[in-house]
Homo-oligomer: A and B are copies of this chain.
Amino acid sequence: MNINKLLKPEKIVIVGASEKEGFGGDTCRNVMTYMFEDKYYFVNPRRSEVFGVKCYKSISDLPESIDLVVICTPVHTVEDILQEAKDKGAGAAVVFASGYSETGTEEGIEREESLIATCRSLDIALMGPNCAGFFNYNDMVSSFAFISEERDRSGSVGFVSQSGQLALSMMDSPKMKFSYAISAGNSSVVTMEEYLDFLVEDKDTKVIAMYLEGIKDTEPFVEALKKAAIIRKPIVVLKTGRSQKGQEIAASHTGSLSGTDKVYDALFRKFGVIRVDDLEELMSTCMAMAILKKMPDKPKIASMNLSGGETGICADLGEIHGIEYADFDLETVNRLNDLLPEYASPNNPLDMTATLSYDVDKYAEALDIVMIDPEVGLVAVGYTLLQEIADPAIKYMTQSLEKVMRDPKAKPVVMIPFTENTRNAEYSERLEKVGVPVLPTSNYAFKVLKNISDFVAYDASEHDLEVKVPSGNIGKINPLSESESKKIVGSYGIPFPRTEVVKSLNQVEELAKEMGYPLVAKIDSPDIMHKSDAGCVKLNLNHVDEVVDAYSDIIENALKYKDDAVINGVQLSNMVKSGIEMIIGVKNDPQLGPCIMCGLGGVFVEVFKDTSLGLAPVSRSEAEKMVNSLKGVKLLKGYRGSEPADIDAFVDAIVNVSKLATEHMNSMTELDINPIFVYEEGICAVDALYVRNS
């Protein structure tokens, strides 16, 4: 399958060419508007001409071979046309028709399976079905099914969407400039992961935008993410499904299988993918990154405004969105004090006062002073650029920016408006030309700044750029007993207290003496998960008689609790002193593989949900980030004068659990190590539950 035949075809044919509104007519009009005449043919058995262009009766009548067939006709005609196109050399197709798996009906699903099989046997790279086609703005190829006024949208954002409506909205936004815009529909033959890979490889694409409902094949998806992470090409993803309702909608919309949403977050963190929450954030993050001539070299921001009100808003929005404002150094402060009116205070965010916006040289000087500050990575100038220009300030400010940005050492600059409006095209373009994007309205603008900061702060070398996907069906649930679980976990370097499983009173007496006191006795049974509730845990046993009694009680209670329980015996363990109570867990995601969770134990995880996730394999610095992103990390770092706990040992444990999970991914459903006590030196796990998948 050759995706170049689809996205970079030399010759295309529109089947179902027409002059009527609808797929056929709109596609033909787009083709005629944007493509050279010698690159396309029209086919319709009932017409000899469409909009004055010769129309052939059938594909077989075409005078030369073609690469791509764009099928505008109804669903039942599609497969025959594919065959015909193949005979004329086609290696690719676009299918607009719906009526496939997205209907959720048996008929639709079968129809899609048949279509996929046909494409495989004909070696055809098919876009769709249930899609709106694509634009290739570099080679000027259009197969897009929706019409608009003629417009130039050539640029460097490569966009692929599983929603036709969102593709359309994005293309209708005057600020967007694309290398490719792809409405992938059900993406059942050429998949989202293949489009992504194409755009990562494409030299004309600087930033990739995706609207993603779910992926089909994890491995190629991850490979593409990895390539992008290494070459630092930004990928910005709008993936719905954060909410339960959103997941259901994504599943029913294009029939995508959508993994657990938080696991996607872990995936995106690993590869430095920027995740956004809506279309405007997607568009403006991509365009900002495309317009900037270079990325900031550090994630700290300077904010420069013309009024106290706007400066206050920037201060607050910065805090709300987690932006780091640079602390100006003394020289910056002194130089600003000399330049600005007496009543201005040289803080960051900075209120320069409105007077400065009417003086090209002074405004430029202020920019220079702030840019040269060593802490500043990016400068955000506040100004509400409107469509209608009443205030001449923008004229002077633009001149200042043109002057300053000429210097190749100039740091990146963005403009932040405070009310919604279509931005004046002339000034937007002048600013864009010197690398200054006009961001969307303040709240969105700060989301964009945060996205850029996160992209800058990401360092691929800190991450293990792999994802391990289980091959089997990991749905089954088959718990091991505690001692079996501990044996496996212990073999990966997680320390437990000495534990022995005893099966007779003789053994009890012998081992109790050997192990020393205090001891803990617990049932060892794969059938009794809630051991305390069943009366099968006895703590703080200080004498052999107590241990003997505990043994008898536990066996008795276990059989009372579940009379057919499989009982391996009773575990005797040395009691350990308590430390800071933590947990490590694993859930094996069917699509993305083992996902490691860590957190503080007890109410912290259950009530405060203070946990963090990392997708296996987890590198040491990924594990460190996981621990540091816990709110409760303060407790580990020495709280109220107590000594700091051994975070290093806990981080090692996470890495070891990740190894375990990766090596066992085909046989493990989940794993819980709860609690693990973290001490000033070292750690000790107390309980473990390993759930097998067999």
What is the interface of chain A, defined by CB distance below 8 A to chain B?
98, 102-105, 108, 147-149, 161-166, 169-170, 172-174, 211, 213, 238, 240-243, 245-246, 248-250, 252-254, 277-281, 283-284, 306-313, 315-320, 325, 342-343, 345, 347-349, 351, 354, 384, 386-388, 390, 418-422, 440-444, 447, 603, 606-608, 610, 631-632, 634-635, 639-640
7 pairs, A vs B, C-beta closer than 8 Å: A149-B390, A173-B421, A253-B351, A279-B313, A279-B442, A606-B640, A608-B608
Q: Which chain B residues lie closer than 8 Å to A347 at the CB level?
A: 245, 248-249
Q: Which chain B residues lie closer than 8 Å to A384 at the CB level?
A: 169, 172
Give the complex CA separation of A250 and B345 in angstroms.
12
Of the candidates A278, A306, A387, A443, the one having the most CB atoms from chain B within 10 angstroms of its own CB is A278
Query: In the complex the two chains form, is B318's CB within 8 Å of A418's CB?
Result: no
Query: In the complex the two chains form, is B253's CB within 8 Å of A166's CB?
Result: no
Given that A172-B419, A345-B252, A607-B639 are contacting pairs, would A309 and B163 also be in contact in the complex, using a CB cutoff of 8 Å? yes
Of the candidates A240, A386, A390, the one having the most CB atoms from chain B within 10 angstroms of its own CB is A240
Q: Which chain B residues lie closer than 8 Å to A149 at the CB level?
A: 388, 390
Query: In the complex the two chains form, is A240's CB within 8 Å of B639's CB?
Result: no
Query: In the complex the two chains form, is B310's CB within 8 Å of A165's CB?
Result: yes
Query: In the complex the two chains form, is A280's CB within 8 Å of B603's CB?
Result: no
Given that A306-B165, A312-B249 are contacting pairs, would A319 and B280 also be in contact in the complex, using a CB cutoff of 8 Å? no
Given that A241-B312, A250-B312 are contacting pairs, would A420 and B420 also be in contact in the complex, using a CB cutoff of 8 Å? yes
Task: Identify the closest chain B residue to A630 (Cβ).
Answer: B607
Given that A213-B312, A277-B443 are contacting pairs, would A245 and B325 also be in contact in the complex, using a CB cutoff of 8 Å? yes
Q: Which chain B residues lie closer than 8 Å to A104 at the CB level?
A: 343, 345
**Selected contact of A318 from candidates B105, B243, B349, B351, CB within 8 Å:** B243
Protomer copies = 2
Task: Identify the closest chain B residue to A283 (Cβ).
Answer: B419
Q: Which chain B residues lie closer than 8 Å to A170 at the CB level?
A: 419
Give the complex CA separation of A97 and B194 in angstroms.
64
Of the candidates A249, A278, A312, A419, the one having the most CB atoms from chain B within 10 angstroms of its own CB is A312
Q: Which chain B residues lie closer than 8 Å to A248 at the CB level?
A: 347
Give the complex CA separation of A248 and B317 in angstroms.
15
Q: Which chain B residues lie closer than 8 Å to A98 at the CB level?
A: 343
Give the complex CA separation of A603 and B640 in angstroms.
10
Give the complex CA separation of A279 and B343 in angstroms.
24
Query: In the complex the two chains form, is B608's CB within 8 Å of A632's CB?
Result: yes
Of the candidates A105, A149, A348, A419, the one having the most CB atoms from chain B within 10 angstroms of its own CB is A419
Query: In the complex the two chains form, is B316's CB within 8 Å of A242's CB?
Result: yes
Query: In the complex the two chains form, is B306's CB within 8 Å of A419's CB?
Result: no
Given that A165-B354, A245-B318 are contacting pairs, would A309 and B277 also be in contact in the complex, using a CB cutoff of 8 Å? no
Query: In the complex the two chains form, is A315's CB within 8 Å of B172's CB?
Result: no
Give the complex CA separation of A345 and B634 in angstroms.
46
A268 shortest CB reach to chain B, Å: 15
Q: Which chain B residues lie closer than 8 Å to A243 at the CB level?
A: 315-316, 318-319
**Selected contact of A173 from candidates B317, B419, B610, CB within 8 Å:** B419
Give the complex CA separation of A238 and B165 in angstroms.
35
Give the complex CA separation of A425 and B306 in angstroms.
30
Query: In the complex the two chains form, is B306's CB within 8 Å of A245's CB?
Result: no
Query: In the complex the two chains form, is A390's CB within 8 Å of B421's CB?
Result: no
Q: Which chain B residues lie closer than 8 Å to A306 at the CB level?
A: 165
A155 shortest CB reach to chain B, Å: 16
Query: In the complex the two chains form, is B420's CB within 8 Å of A309's CB?
Result: no
Task: Identify the closest chain B residue to A312 (Cβ).
Answer: B240
Task: Identify the closest chain B residue to A148 (Cβ).
Answer: B390
A159 shortest CB reach to chain B, Å: 13
